[in-house]
Chains A and B, each alone.
Chain A
Amino acid sequence: MLFNSISYIVFFLCVCLFFFSLKHKYRWVLLLAASYFFYGYWKFEYLILIVFSTIIDYLLALQIERSKSNNNKKVFLYISIIVNLTVLIFFKYANFIGSSIAYILQEEELTNNLIHDFLLPVGISFYTFQSMSYTIDVYKKSRKAERHLGIFALYVTFFPQLVAGPIERSTTLLPQFYERKEIDSLRIINGLEQVLRGFFKKLVVADRLAIYVDTIYNNYEMHSGSSLLLATIFFAFQIYCDFSGYSDIAIGSARILGYDLMENFRRPYFSKSIKSFWSRWHISLSTWFRDYLYIPLGGNRVVKWRVYYNIFIVFLVSGLWHGANWTFVVWGALHGLFLVIESLFKVPKIEFKSGVFTGFFVFKTFILVCLAWIFFRSENINQAIAIVNSIPSLGSVYFGGQSNFIYSAFGLLILLIVELRQEYFKINWLKSRSWRLLKYQLIFILILLFGVFNKGQFIYFQF
């Protein structure tokens, strides 16, 4: 079920009504049933996969806790990791590995034998990582193993964040399912505001920009360097608004029900360095990699060259996590490289008091991020290289449909003004309830007047 669909609005209203009319002890049953319904709405068969992951990790975590010897604990942890990764690799990477082997061996026929035609289950990378982090937490004794299978299943499948995050930690989300939730009007209004903001980002900005980006990237040979550059900048905002819009709807929906999900984006394009970018972009994933991969690899507490190696490996894996294509691997590698270079030529911490300096560093970071986005958006490496090569030639810009371009620029302008205010001028202009109500009306009207309602899916669903 897509967030940007009437079915989700009806579904969510029903869930809210039943949730607040039920007694606390039955609410988990409703949320679990709703979450399975939400996921099964795409493809019923894939529920088997998520139930399998849930049961395996539930049982293995209990075994880890019960085991007295460290070796046994380790064995159960490894089983959990291997099972989770096997499922992930089979569904997500088998075709990629198969076609890469066939390409290396130059055997076209081999491709047909090595490739399966199973559909990639929506959000598999998200719930696998969430479930895996739980067993690791139990192993590290950061939390006790969950005894209640239903509550644990709800942790794995909680519908607002099931298919595209934020990837929640068991230490923060699981205890919330035991808390009694009361109707809190202020909380519900705040939640609705965040949902509305998410819809604005997705429908007015992301899906609008997508029309231009798709036109240019799908026929990149036909377009000038300037058009490709503009499309790349637009893509940077498209993917940001698509994904952070999804996160806003997820966080807002959960907040309405009384649950707090972690912040996933914090105005990433105002970052002054790549390091800062990664502390603001897809925060739940970057902190996951930090805690469950970077630190176990040694983190910062190793010799210099090893630190750089660790950074690079983490970003390579992060690239691969995003998708089974070499373009994502290069995207990850580029970010790893940028970070290594940044660490090598560490500029002494400058107090960014001057607007010019701030502007320069923000611009530099944005350019580097955009360069990497070219690989992320391209169908293959050849296309990405051709685009990188074409951009310096500039030339005249193709604006596409005039009205679409105007709406894109308008949506982007509103987004930038709002984020600029949040980043640099922390003044709350609209304090009173009436002003806030008017603000919500305005966002709603903008969505209805300028939103794109037939674009569909969120980009990150494919991951």
Chain B
Amino acid sequence: MRNSTEIKILIKYLARFLIVLVMLDILFGLILGLILEKQTKGNYAKFNKVFFDDCFDTMVVGNSRAERQFVSEILRDSLNKTVFNAGLGGRDIYFFNAVLDGLNQRCKPKTIILEFSWSDLKVPIKKDRVEFFAPYYNKLPQINSYIDENKIIDKILLQSALIRYNSTLWDLLSASLVDEEMKLGYRPLFGNLLVRKIEKKEKVEPILKQIPENLNWYKSFINKCQELNIKLILVNSPHYFDGAVFSQGSKQDFLDFLKKQKVQFITYENNKTFKQNQELFHDIRHLNDTGARIFTAQLAHKLKKIL
């Protein structure tokens, strides 16, 4: 008798808890959804543009090295085409496969410039970084499988707005107030490289045997570009220091692979303008604004001949 009374109290309490929680979840979803749509600055504004608002002839994709080193305005003016930099820090080829799938089929770009570093082959694919797109879950059904990885439990959990907007609140609320300058997706870095401690370079080879997952996602990206009739160009932009050093032989394996796939590859690995030039770098992996402008101008000159 006592047990059944206690169970009733408990069920009543938990039911109240759940009902209020679901209501709050819906409310949060509505409010945050509106805020997401109205973004004018910041990372979500960038991808609202890419997925929903605008069409571009040329798009730059890749991690922070794409975002910080490819000056869209210079490319636009030199190539006389609309250009947008959709690079985003800390993201890898898996993330940009999702971007490619999320693009509006009606206004896909004609050219995609994919920033590439040899270390991208060494660093394991970070699928969890695609959680950035969780607020777009169900709004862009074609990228759902990247976010939930086809796991039933994730599909269920992602129905909750609070989970979809996990870790995004600050980005959404603060973007228009504190976010850095961004011109057509390019985000400049200022100041010169000061630290010059270089780690010991390690040899990793042969590349192709060690990176099946990375390579598969590159293959997938290339195939998608071919299917959509998008011209893909891989650009190895300047480094002050690239953490991964591969032997010439193993690099050749990857270059042969690109050649087979008919993908253009431009490298600035040994470019004299940038090599060990501290003035042009913000840190060991990123050019500062001055460096980025010099590099983009040089690249635009090359691209003019190709495109």
Contacts and interface: CB of A to CB of B under 8 A. Distances in A.
A181 to B, nearest CB: 11
A437 B13 contact: yes
Contacts of A184: 6
A308 B282 CA distance: 53
Given A185-B9, A221-B197, A441-B21, A448 B162 contact: yes
Interface stretch (B80-88, B167-175, B259-267): B167-175
A441 B24 CA distance: 9
A453 interface: yes
A177 B17 CA distance: 31
Interface stretch (A45-53, A119-127, A400-408): A400-408
Interface residues on A, range: 20 to 34
A423 B287 CA distance: 50
A413 interface: no
Interface in B140-192: 153, 160, 162-163, 165-167, 169-171, 174, 178
Interface in A159-196: 182-185, 188-189
A183 B10 contact: yes
A402 B175 CA distance: 11
B167 A403 contact: yes
A183 B160 contact: no
Given A437-B13, A437-B20, A183 B7 contact: yes
B224 to A, nearest CB: 26
A441 B20 contact: yes
B306 interface: no
B139 interface: no
A344 interface: no
Contacts of B160: 448
Contacts of B21: 441, 444-445
Contact of B167 (A20, A185, A222, A452): A452
Given A183-B7, A183-B10, A441-B24, A448 B195 contact: no
Interface in A301-337: none
Given A184-B6, A185-B13, A450 B167 contact: yes
A6 B170 contact: no
A182 B128 contact: no
A403 B170 contact: yes
Given A189-B13, A441-B20, A448-B160, A183 B166 contact: no
Given A182-B6, A185-B10, A406-B170, A445 B162 contact: yes
Contacts of B106: none
Contacts of A454: 128, 131
Contact of A450 (B9, B166, B197): B166
Contacts of A453: 166
A182 to B, nearest CB: 6
Nearest to A450: B167
Contact of B195 (A182, A183, A222, A450): A222
Contacts of A444: 21
Contacts of A222: 195, 197
A448 B24 CA distance: 12
A433 B153 CA distance: 32
A453 B17 CA distance: 22
B171 A440 contact: no
A347 interface: no
A451 B170 contact: no
Interface string B1-30: 011001101100100110011001000100
Given A6-B153, A444-B21, A449 B13 contact: no
A347 B45 CA distance: 60
A182 B2 contact: yes
Nearest to A184: B6
Contacts of B178: 402
Contact of A437 (B2, B16, B171): B16
Contacts of A6: 153
Contacts of B174: 402-403, 406
Contacts of A441: 17, 20-21, 24
Give the most central of A6, A185, A406, A441: most B CB within 10 Å.
A185
A260 B28 CA distance: 37
30 contacts: A20-B3, A182-B3, A185-B6, A185-B7, A185-B9, A189-B10, A189-B13, A403-B167, A403-B174, A406-B170, A407-B170, A437-B13, A437-B16, A437-B17, A441-B17, A441-B24, A445-B24, A445-B162, A448-B160, A448-B162, A448-B163, A448-B166, A449-B28, A449-B166, A449-B167, A449-B169, A451-B166, A452-B167, A453-B166, A454-B131
Q: Which 10 A-B pairs have CB atoms at the shortest separation, nearest pair first?
A: A448-B162, A403-B170, A185-B9, A185-B10, A183-B6, A185-B6, A406-B170, A454-B128, A183-B3, A403-B171
Interface of A: 6, 20, 182-185, 188-189, 221-222, 402-403, 406-407, 433, 437, 440-441, 444-445, 448-454
Given A449-B165, A453-B166, 5 more contacts: A188-B10, A407-B167, A445-B24, A448-B162, A454-B128
